[in-house]
Structure 1
Amino acid sequence: MKLKSGFTQVSHCMTLVRKHDYEHYLCTLLLPKPVQPVVFALRSYNIEVALIKDTVSEVAIGKMKLTFWRDAINTIFKKGSNDKLPDHPVVNLLAQAVKECNLNKIWLSRLLDARETDLTRTSYHQTKELEDYCENTSSSLFYLTLEALGIKDVHSDHVASHIGKAQGIVTLLRAAGYYRSKRQVLIPLDILMRHGSSQEEFLRGEATPSLINSTYDLASLANAHLLKAISLADKIPKGAAARVFLPAVATRSFLEDLERVDFNPYSERLRLRRPSLPMTLLWKAFRNKYY
């Protein structure tokens, strides 16, 4: 598996992932070298569409930008088409990855659909809505990575689903301070109501018992998905499959850090990057473990 890609395209994608998704940058470097450009293309695609919501002032503009990506994906998968792809490093590298690895369009499209729905989202009413969003975004990227490695295994798919959900929930918790600055609270409303909390309480940023309990519930849900993924570790194929799921190490580390600050999602300590993470990931990769 060797993409006929120019150095500039791969370098662009690597730089993009390193800037916006450092943990996945480290994890991708620990995958087999031939597949690394593919995964950097996939992660770059995710970053490009994820950033749209935060970089546009109007929903209509966001939808126009997503249309660019939808048209690009459709052109990539249009067999026998003479349509020219846009001159974009991520699009071009992604096109090569799709062709070389026979990637499934459904996961790329599902991720795009989820991002489009997210353009107008201001809250989640039910926890399942959040889990579905995480499945459609984070889990889809794991499914694509498994495809890139040629891994077709039902247990690996189950692990991908659970780790994707755990990672998506943790991403939301990590961004609690950012969302607060935008006057948004994405903790599902059913969890807030269970503890007598409210969005206004989260916007005030006070570590009240109901805020802490709501955060604890969401963190516990992420941890439950991680534990389920770990319980399947002995059933997935030996070798590269475990490395696909290395991002679970960072997800678990954040949950441990969150517990240390008593589940206060606004604690400044959660902003600190663990300096030991690169070595931890290397050690886990060496042992073919993701927990």
Structure 2
Amino acid sequence: MELDSATHCGDELRRHDPDRWLTALFAPDVARPALWALYAFNLEIARSAEQVSEAMLGHIRLQWWRETWDGIRAGTPRKHPVAEALFAAGAAAWDADDVAALIDARERDLEPAPPASLAELLDYAKATTAPLLRLACQVLGQTPDGVLRETLDYAGQAYALTGILRAVPFHAAQGRVLLPSQMLGGQGLAWESILRQELDQRAFTVMREIGLEARRLLVMARRRPVPRQVLPALLPLTIAALHLKQMERAGFDPKASADVSQPRKHGALLWAALRRRF
């Protein structure tokens, strides 16, 4: 892979998605640049909503990436460092359905209204994360099916729910709410109050319920053995578990929940790698 495109992907991840950047360091040297390219692509589409001033521009940005993948598969990548890194990583051979699913899932980010129910939130969590995990496994030499595919679904949902809970104030500042409206209504809250960042014990109760679901999914994912070669793809769950525990201790109050320290992350990842479990 060309040094400039690989360096760009690594630098972008280190600034904007440091947990995935860190876990990719546990992948074999030969696979690491491809993982960084994959994660940098995910970062590009995941930030679509926050980098545009109106929804139509976000849809155009996502369509640009669909066409970019057409070029990668045709052997004519666009002059964009992430596209060039993907092409050099052999991404033309990756599962096209998983790539398309990731892009399509980000259309939901351009809608300001929250999901109606926990079930709808779980669908979103799965759609935005499970295909990424499957693609990461492909990079590491394993095409997921059967039990592994189901494990990745649980893992993806757990990871995404944890990230959503951590990002409640950030999303609100963007004009977005991902806490289900039915759950908020059950606590006597309108979702517009979350937009105004009026977070009180009622909001924390909703977040705790979602956190319990994330914990349940994490336990289900961890009960199943995974091939050793795909462990680096699942190591982000190790860090997510730390974040979830931190939020539980803070009563799911975002203002009281400090970030997990780098030494704790490093120690947890080393221990997970030694045990060969995420």
TM-score, length-scaled by structure 2: 0.92
Alignment partners' CA distance in 1, 2:177 and 2:259: 18
CA spacing shift, 1:272–1:207, aligned 2, 3 Å:
farther
What is the correspondence of 1:28-39 to structure 2 with a 5 Å cutoff? 28-39=24-35
Task: Please say if residues 112 and 175 of structure 2, whose CA atoms lie closer than 8 Å, have aligned partners that are also in contact.
Answer: no
Q: Tell me which amino acid in the other structure corresponds to 1:13.
A: C
Once the two structures are overlaid, the 10-residue window that deviates more, 119-128 or 198-207, is 198-207
**CA deviation map 1:24-59 (0-9, x unaligned):** 111001011111111101100011111121011122
2:270 alignment partner, one of 282, 285, 288: 282
Unaligned runs of 5+ in 2: none
| Aligned match of 1:205 | 198
Alignment partners' CA distance in 2, 1:271 and 1:61: 32
Alignment partners' CA distance in 1, 2:96 and 2:197: 42
Alpha-carbon distance, 1:221 to partner: 1.0
Unaligned runs of 5+ in 1: none
Alpha-carbon distance, 1:204 to partner: 4.5
Q: For the aligned residues, what is the CA RMSD?
A: 1.9
| Aligned match of 1:58 | 54
Task: Please say if residues 201 and 211 of structure 1, whose CA atoms lie closer than 8 Å, have aligned partners that are also in contact.
Answer: no
| Aligned match of 1:160 | 152
2:255 aligned with 1:267: yes
CA spacing shift, 1:88–1:206, aligned 2, 3 Å:
closer
Task: Please say if residues 32 and 240 of structure 1, whose CA atoms lie closer than 8 Å, have aligned partners that are also in contact.
Answer: no
Alpha-carbon distance, 1:96 to partner: 2.8
Q: Tell me which amino acid in the other structure corresponds to 1:178.
A: F
Alignment partners' CA distance in 2, 1:158 and 1:96: 30
Task: Please say if residues 170 and 251 of structure 1, whose CA atoms lie closer than 8 Å, have aligned partners that are also in contact.
Answer: yes
Q: Tell me which amino acid in the other structure corresponds to 1:149.
A: L
CA spacing shift, 1:214–1:151, aligned 2, 3 Å:
same
Alpha-carbon distance, 1:283 to partner: 2.2
2:221 aligned with 1:244: no
What is the correspondence of 1:72-221 to structure 2 with a 5 Å cutoff? 72-78=68-74, 84-99=76-91, 102-152=93-143, 153-202=145-194, 203-208=196-201, 210-221=202-213
Q: Tell me which amino acid in the other structure corresponds to 1:251.
A: A
Q: Tell me which amino acid in the other structure corresponds to 1:280.
A: A
Alpha-carbon distance, 1:133 to partner: 1.7
Alignment partners' CA distance in 2, 1:163 and 1:151: 17
**CA deviation map 1:147-197 (0-9, x unaligned):** 112223422212211111111111111111112323432201122233333
Task: Please say if residues 156 and 241 of structure 1, whose CA atoms lie closer than 8 Å, have aligned partners that are also in contact.
Answer: no
2:12 aligned with 1:12: no
Alpha-carbon distance, 1:97 to partner: 2.6
Aligned residue pair count: 276
| Aligned match of 2:17 | 21
Task: Please say if residues 242 and 289 of structure 1, whose CA atoms lie closer than 8 Å, have aligned partners that are also in contact.
Answer: yes
Task: Please say if residues 246 and 260 of structure 2, whose CA atoms lie closer than 8 Å, have aligned partners that are also in contact.
Answer: no
Q: Percent identity?
A: 26
Once the two structures are overlaid, the 10-residue window that deviates more, 280-289 or 247-256, is 280-289
